Structure 1
C-alpha cells in the first residue's frame, strides 16, 4: 500500500513538473512577440491532452504565426517528429496602445502631435491595433477619426503621390530610350502602385507610381 502511494505521488510530481516545463516553453514562445513595454498579467494553457502530458520533451509552436499573440492563441505541441496535440492559450498583458489626440480628417498625413499613448489591457483591443506611433506617422488617414479613438492599422494607408483627375508626367522607358509626356490620372495611387492614366492622345494606359505626380511605363 505504501509503495503504491509513493508511486502515485511520484507520478503526480512528474506530471506537474512536465506541465511547468511546457508552460515555461509556451511563455518563452510568446514573450518575444509581445508589443514593446508589455507586461504579463496571466497566461492559462488549459488542460493539455494526454499525449502532450506524456511527452518528455514537448516543443510548442504557433499555429498561426502571422496573428498577434494577445487574447486566445492557438499553440500546437510537437513530440519528436509528430504533433501531440493543440492548446488554447489565454494571454493577458498590459501595455501601451495608440489613440487619436484630436479629430483627424480622411486624407490627413499623420504627425506625432495628433497621437497619444495610453496603457491598459491589450487583449481587449480591436484586431490590428497600433502599439507604436512610428507604425503610422507619415501615413494618411483612410477615414475620419474621432478624438480618443483606439487606432488600428486599417485606419491608415500609404500617402497618395498621385490623385484622381490630377495632371501627371508619364515616362515611357525602354532599351536605350526615355519618352516623357503629360497625362491625367484616373485613380489615386501610392508609391509603387499601378494606376490608370489617359495620355494627351486619349489612350488609356496603366502605369506605376514612381514619385509625386510621376508615372512610368515600361516596354
Structure 2
C-alpha cells in the first residue's frame, strides 16, 4: 500500500519541506529587513537633524557676526555625520539595486567632507567641554562671504529634507524636525520604501546644481579662496 502511494507521499513531503524552508527564509528576511529598517530610521533621523541644525547654525552665525566654540564643533561633527550616512546608504542602495553607482557621484559626501575639514581646522579638531558659548572667531568680510555660500548650500540641502522626510519644517527661517511625526511615519519596513533613496539622490542633485551655478568642482574652491 505504501509502495503504491510512495511517489505521492514523497511529492507531498517534498512540498511540505520546501514550504517549511521557504517560511524560514521569509522570516529571516523579515527579521533582517526589520533590523536594517531600525538602523536606517536612526541614521536618517540623525542626518536630518544634522541638516536642520546646520541650517539654523549658519543663520545664527550670520545674524551674530561671530562663531562660538559650540557652533564650530557642531558644524564639524554634523558634517561628519552627513559624510558617514550618505556613504553608507549609497552603498546599501547600490547593493539593493535601487541606485546605479555608475551614474551617482555622491557630491554631498564629497563636499560635506570638505566642510567638516574646514570647521575641523578652525577648531584644531579639539572637543570643547567648557565655555562653549565663548566666541571662537569674529567674522570678517572674507569669512562672512564663505558662511553665506555655506548657508546657501544648506538652504538647498534643507529643501531636500523637507521634500523627502516627514516631520521637517521651516518657519521664519528656523528649521525643525518633529520627532513624533518622524517616528510615527517610519516603521519596521522602512528599507522597502524609497524615501531614504530619494533623500540621498535629491541631496546629490542639489549639491551638483550649486556647484554648477558657481562653476566650481567642489566647495573647497570657495573655502580656500
Whether TM exceeds 0.5 here: the answer is: no
Q: Which has the higher helix share?
A: 2
Greater relative contact order (Cα 8 A, min sep 6): structure 1 or 2?
2
Please give the TM-score of this superposition, normalised by the length of structure 1.
0.30
Please give the TM-score of this superposition, normalised by the length of structure 2.
0.29
Highest CA radius of gyration, 1 or 2? 1
